[in-house]
Amino acid sequence: MDPPFDGFYFIDLAAKKTSYLEGLYGNREDVHIHTGDATEYLTKTLLPQIQYANYNRALCLLDPYGLHLDWEVIHQAGQSKAIDMFLNFPVMDMNRNAIWRHPEKVPESGIQRMNRFWGDESWRQAAYAESAQTVLWGEPDIVKQDNDAIVSAFCERLKSVAGFQIVLPPLPMKNSTNAVVYYLCFASQSPVAERILTSIFDRYRARGMAAG
């Protein structure tokens, strides 16, 4: 593309994957490959360098292994005012490990992972609501919200907390059994990026969503 990107940064926990990538592109001066925790590398090394005030621009793709991503990465990307971001929102992993129909049974490890990904405990308000019905003794019946409600609340958080001006309606990505595995989210500061990605997302929606 013209003008080209100045650099490409690839980060993965798996040494097997990064070594394979090194074999393909490691001889390029504009390619930087890091083996380790993406959160630490991004928040401490890479993202602080990318700022609108410095006339930087970047495209960031976050594809976490489930809930293994720190909100601080997303927050720094939004606050930079210089980054367009794709995020695979791992709703299936959330349902498996943190957002259960009976919230009192969720293990502490699942709660901590969810807090880390969401940034605080406000995910509980997005994930659960009181039913209009009550159970015995008049106690409120807590109902688990559907996936669309949860991801919509997160997208609102991308605007109100992370600071992205534009967040597209997320695109559900489905497996071969038609179950939603994750949502593809896009956040940006650019109206041009919004127009381009809206067109692309709309084409996939018209085809009945995408298969992962």
62-113 pLDDT, tens digit each: 999 888 999 999 999 999 999 999 999 999 999 999 999 999 999 999 999 9
Q: Quickly list DSSP for 14-26.
A: -HHHHHHHHHHHT
pLDDT surpassing 70 at residue 208 = no
pTM: 0.90
Of the candidates 30, 150, 53, 152, which has an alpha carbon nearest to the alpha carbon of residue 93?
A: 150
Contact (CB, 8 A) for 207 and 172: no
Distance CA 186, CA 198 (A): 9
Helices 71-80 and 108-118 cross at an angle (nearest 10°) of 10
pLDDT digits over 177-192, tens only? 888 999 999 999 999 9
Percent of the chain with pLDDT over 90: 82
Cα 142 to Cα 51, 95, 199, distances in angstroms: 43, 16, 38
Q: How far apart are CA 71 and CA 103, in angstroms?
A: 22
- Structural contact between residues 68 and 84, judged by C-beta atoms closer than 8 angstroms: no
Could you report the per-residue pLDDT of 117-127, keeping only the tens digit for each?
999 999 999 99
What are the domain boundaries of the chain? 37-211
Query: Given a cut of 90, is residue 149 above it in pLDDT?
Result: yes
Mean pLDDT of the chain: 92
In angstroms, the CA 145 to CA 156 distance is 16
